[in-house]
Copies of this chain bind each other. A is one copy, B any other.
Amino acid sequence: MNRFLDLADFSREQVLDLLALAQSLQDHPQPHALVGKILGLVFFNPSLRTLASFQVGMSRLGGDSFVITPGQGTWQLETRLNAVMNGAAAEHVREGIPVLASYCDALGVRAFADGKNLQNDLNETLFGMIDRLCDKPLINMESAMNHPCQALADWRTMDELRIPKRAKFVLSWVYHPKMLPLAVPSATLHMAAMRGMEVVVARPEGFALPPEIMAKARLAAAASGGSVSETSDRVSALAGANVLYAKEWGSPQHYGDAEADGRLRADLVDWCVNERWFAGALPDAKLMHCLPVRRNVAVADEVLDGPRAVVKREAFNRLAVQMAVLHRMLS
């Protein structure tokens, strides 16, 4: 495996195979599998789980890693092609990425959406450039529209919880003071569809995911036998649900326009998950979230501290599945 950029690049069988490898590495640790291998980690954006779990994953497999955080101890990196670089950035990714790749055996890169032009971000303009610049194996640690490590960890979490393939999976928009990127909702939606689930996207008016994202998920559902629908009625969405996956995102209609997005979300503070949301769901319905989560803003304490919340297991599974990806890529 030379690239881990998008679950959609893999067949369902290949994904199941990776999940089996994750389980196998948990049952039968391979502390020498990646001896002598070095992973470079480049974070254009903040991280907690990703930063810790990739370093730990390499360690647990006998390898090593280093961390580069442009703008913090490292030069700010320019990403615009043909830029006349007389601003804050001292170096261009066209030099930075190949140089870092030359030092290591694989590179992980986190580069969030630019958040200005929806089409550019849907096209993964930045991550596509990084992809072309990297002649070593490359892992997407969250790009403009994708977060395959999170998606794979969530898939594993549902398998562990024995949530049926055909179960009802509700991806619901939840409130956040700022417009967050579309990466996790897009990746989650596609993952659940690819897993074969009955997927419902619940979101207020104005927060429908871009048609390209919905179409990609529908394609995955068609292949897996699942389904994808969307609604602004969260009560109907949650009726009979096995899983509520809460996620914050900005209005695609007002992409790059924080003010317009802010006006739209101002009235939506009640999109904070509490126990009442689960009234019509299955009794043991689960609450999933990729973290970080703003307590009592996106999800209430009563849910996060109760038995429904499986968010810490999702986070732990980041380590488990990433070890499988690293093993497949580097061993």
Complex: chain B residue closest to A54, CB-CB: B66
A283 nearest CB across to chain B (Å): 25
**Is A96 among interface residues, defined by CB-CB distance under 8 A?**
yes
Cβ-defined contact, B293 with A91, below 8 A: yes
Chain B interface: which of A18-26, A43-51, A220-228?
Answer: A43-51
**Which of B47, B92, B100, B295 sits near A74, CB closer than 8 Å?**
B47
**Is A233 among interface residues, defined by CB-CB distance under 8 A?**
no
Cβ-defined contact, A48 with B96, below 8 A: yes
Task: Kindly state the separation between the CA atoms of A297 and B91 in the bound complex, as whole angstroms.
Answer: 11
A8 nearest CB across to chain B (Å): 27
Majority-rule SS of A interface residues: mixed
Cβ-defined contact, A72 with B74, below 8 A: no
Please name all residues of chain B whose beta carbon is closer than 8 Å to the beta carbon of A328 when the two chains form the complex: none
Cβ-defined contact, B52 with A100, below 8 A: yes
The B-contacting residues of A in range 266-300, CB under 8 angstroms, are 291-297
**Which of B38, B291, B301 sits near A56, CB closer than 8 Å?**
B38
**Is A116 among interface residues, defined by CB-CB distance under 8 A?**
no
Please name all residues of chain B whose beta carbon is closer than 8 Å to the beta carbon of A70 when the two chains form the complex: 48
**Is A311 among interface residues, defined by CB-CB distance under 8 A?**
yes
Mask: chain A, 25-65; 1 = CB below 8 Å from B; 0 = not: 00000010001101010010011110111011001100010
Residues on A close to B: CB < 8 A? 31, 35-36, 38, 40, 43, 46-49, 51-53, 55-56, 59-60, 64, 66-70, 72-75, 78, 82-86, 90-92, 94-96, 98-100, 102-104, 177, 291-297, 301, 304-305, 311-312, 315-316, 319
- Could you list 28 examples of A-B contacts with CB < 8 Å? A38-B56, A38-B59, A47-B75, A48-B74, A49-B99, A51-B68, A52-B104, A55-B66, A72-B72, A75-B292, A82-B296, A83-B295, A84-B296, A84-B297, A85-B295, A85-B297, A91-B291, A92-B293, A92-B295, A94-B295, A94-B304, A94-B305, A95-B312, A98-B312, A99-B315, A102-B312, A102-B316, A102-B319
